[in-house]
Amino acid sequence: MTDTQVVTQVVTPFATPVDTRPPLPGRPTAAHRPGPGADRRPQPLGSPWPASARVRADGEVLISGVGLEEAADRFGTPLYVLDEAEVRARARAYRAALPHAEILYAAKAFLCSAMADWVAEEGLGLDVCSAGELRLATAAGFPPHRILLHGNAKSPEELRLARRLRVDRIVIDGLAEIPRLAALAIANVPQRVLIRVLPGVAAGHHSAVRTGVDGQKFGFGIAGGDAAEAISRTLAQSSLRLVGLHCHLGSQITDVEPYLAALDRLVELLAEVRDRHGVELPELDLGGGHGVRYLSQDRELDLVEFAAAVSERLATRCVERGLTVPRLTVEPGRAIAAPAGVALYRVLSVKHTAGGRTFVAVDGGMSDNPRPALYGSAYEVRLVGRSSAAPTAVVDVVGRHCEAGDVLVHDAALPADLRPGDLLALPAAGAYQLSMASGYNLVGRPAVVAVRDGRARLLIRRETVEDFRAREVGR
């Protein structure tokens, strides 16, 4: 592979970082990756691409043996390609690292019927935060007794649905939910619930996703007594069974320390509950937010380190307070889905401005990936489907929407001979893109394709103008 084929968001060269991630099944280690020119076989791309990603000498990229150019020609663009084996391997890695914990896949990252099947078959539960996610999961056959429902503003209808479907646990996030849920429950069949608390720990890549601190819409603060009040009111309801505490610190967290700080405060609260009410709660849910690589040089949360440190700290703090160690629950979403996805776009135009900027416009953008506009999120981008010996040019990869902020990748290094019709691929695209997609400019949401063992199958069809029109009932 020539230097001009390597497409990153960084203009200046940088050394390839040492891959310190815990090994996943099927992921080649650095010691087993052939060097440049070792042979003409397809070469591994490495993180942030799926483990199965290979690049051929002609520039074509294969995911699980399926060529991305081939997939784009067959299914059209924009297109999201999801590597089933990567999803399954990451789910299994969580089970292996935390064998005594409960692992719930966070459906908000990305959910479709196939994803529900994969995580269920790999032994994971599911956490959902809306009636839509709950209905889709159960319609796909996901067992309700392995589902947890949370959300800061659950409607009465959602609570009734959860009770009717016999969802295992519901996370209480506001005082009004306590009597509302108690009225729906039956005394001799109590609803199992957790209380979402704010441990006062700030963590996450952006202020909009730091959800473990006081002063925001989620949960009950420990400081000031809000959590204690919610616990007291819940324990007073005979039709509710309080089984534990829940927290979620934020998203894209790459360091284990915030989780350890949260554990310290949660165990203190567990001890206070025992001392005040004579009850030891048997469950502790630390939420998710585990960070992944979006750029080759990014850090990600080390799963093995996280599992060891959290398990040890929880046991130590419980011994110190004379508590039975509660069952731990974690809720990875991005860490399972994001690295499995690749987004594909066709170049529509290449515009060179008098100011020296070059804009490469593609057939998608903020309607299928709002993360760069919302959070300033960074991505790598690569030309696929052909090789190029042209020198590298610095460009902005922009979307097709009527917003100046519709930029997918700033300052990308792409071949200078880039032209309309070329195919671009963005890795780490499996989470919080399609799940946050919109119908802006009435541009339909892309199709989703699963790949496995050299075969591709359509999971979600492309949204069309007819879909938008079908929602209109009058004029």
Q: Which residues are annotated as catalytic?
A: 402
**Tokens at 418, concatenated:** 């880039």
Taking CA atoms, 202 is separated from 194, 212, 219, 308, in Å, by: 21, 6, 14, 22
Residue 411's nearest CA partner among 363, 372, 375, 384 is 372
CB 303 within 8 A of CB 93: yes
Gap between the Cα atoms of 123 and 117, Å rounded: 10
Sign of CA dihedral 355, 361, 366, 369: negative
Helix (H) or strand (E) holding 450: strand 447-452
Helix (H) or strand (E) holding 118: helix 113-121
- The structure tokens 């924009």 sit at 78
Gap between the Cα atoms of 122 and 130, Å rounded: 23
DSSP string, 55-109: E-TTS-EEETTEEHHHHHHHH-SSEEEEEHHHHHHHHHHHHHH-TTSEEEEETTS
Helix (H) or strand (E) holding 352: strand 341-352
Q: Give, to the nearest 10 degrees, the angle between helix 156-165 and helix 131-139.
A: 20
Residue 166 CA, chain-centre distance (Å), reads 26
With b for 16 or more beta-carbon neighbours within 10 A and e for fewer, the 75-108 pattern comes to: bebbbbbbbbbbbbbbbbbbeebbeebbbbbbbb
Find the largest Cα–Cα distance for the chain.
Answer: 74
The DSSP code for 414 is: E
Residue 414 CA, chain-centre distance (Å), reads 27
CB 148 within 8 A of CB 170: yes
**Coil, helix or strand for 395?**
strand
Gap between the Cα atoms of 120 and 131, Å rounded: 19
